[in-house]
Amino acid sequence: QGAHTHTGDPTINDDPEAAKRESSDYATLAGARLPLGLFASMGDDVLTSFLAALKQEAPGLELLIWEANCEEIEDALLRGEIDVALSSVAHHDERIRTTLLFREYFYVIFSPDHRFAQFNAVPLRELEGENYVQRVHCEFPQNLQRLGATRPFDYVNLTYVGEREEWIQSLVRSGHGVAITPQHVYLMPGIEMRKLIDPEVHREISVATVAGRPHSPPVAAALAATRRNRWPGPTSNIAN
């Protein structure tokens, strides 16, 4: 009940132009949709580069972008709310399959008149006692822990804790404190950044799908785009 059975379509054999259009629609995925998960702190230029590669793979694909923190992305993948995701954390659930795309380092950002402006790179211990603006979902601590390193300072003076990137950067720019940020996040004018060292800390950006779930044509196009795209850094295109 409710099913439709097709016994044949005479236009398939009799109308070469119709067949050509159907083939073209399949190649471009015209009208197809892809629910795509993106981690909230993805750099703007990194995102637009990937989307351009995806458009080359499937010009007619309609994207439904689901932006969230990586823990929420994993849950959404497993529930089938999204089909594929770009993620910046390790996924320990064995049902999630990931392929590493690139690594990006963490930097400290500050106003131009801050003492860090005199550094070429900032040793992590120099954060000791600094006024600090913190992101609620900052991934730096877990990536420092992943290295097996201990935090080389005792405390920072928290001046603000929040989620919105523009507020974080506005406070940094106006001198309310420093903040730690991933390498490729867009910065407002009037903000300086230096790489954190001793130790250097990075996060790993990967593409994630659910193991055993058949890849639809839109998912296959997204995975092909990750191989086509030129990811930043010396470890780019690891997926190739």
Bridge-based pairing of strands 157-162 and 62-68 is unpaired
Q: Is the pLDDT confidence value at 118 over 80?
A: yes
Residue 86 has a pLDDT of 95
Spell out a b/e string for 84-116, using b for 16 or more CB atoms within 10 Å of the CB, else e: bbbbbbebeeeebebeebbbbbbbbbbbeebeb
Residue 109 has a pLDDT of 97
Rounded mean pLDDT, 15-34? 57
Residue 69 has a pLDDT of 78
Residue 234 has a pLDDT of 56
Do residues 237 and 231 make contact, with C-beta atoms less than 8 angstroms apart? Answer: yes
The token pair that represents 91 in the structure block:
């996924």
> What percent of the chain clears pLDDT 90, i.e. is strictly above it?
61
Query: Rounded mean pLDDT of the chain?
Result: 84
Summarize pLDDT for 168-204 with one digit per residue, the tens.
Answer: 999 999 999 999 999 999 999 999 999 999 999 999 9
Q: Which of 2-11, 24-33, 141-150, 225-234 has the highest mean pLDDT?
A: 225-234
Nearest Cα residue to 95 out of 213, 219, 217, 240 = 213
Residue 239 has a pLDDT of 44
DSSP state, residue 118:
G
Radius of gyration for the chain, computed over Cα atoms and rounded to the nearest angstrom: 22
Q: Is the pLDDT confidence value at 237 over 50?
A: no
Residue 12 has a pLDDT of 34
Residue 26 has a pLDDT of 40
Rounded mean pLDDT, 149-153? 85
Nearest Cα residue to 152 out of 180, 124, 122 = 124
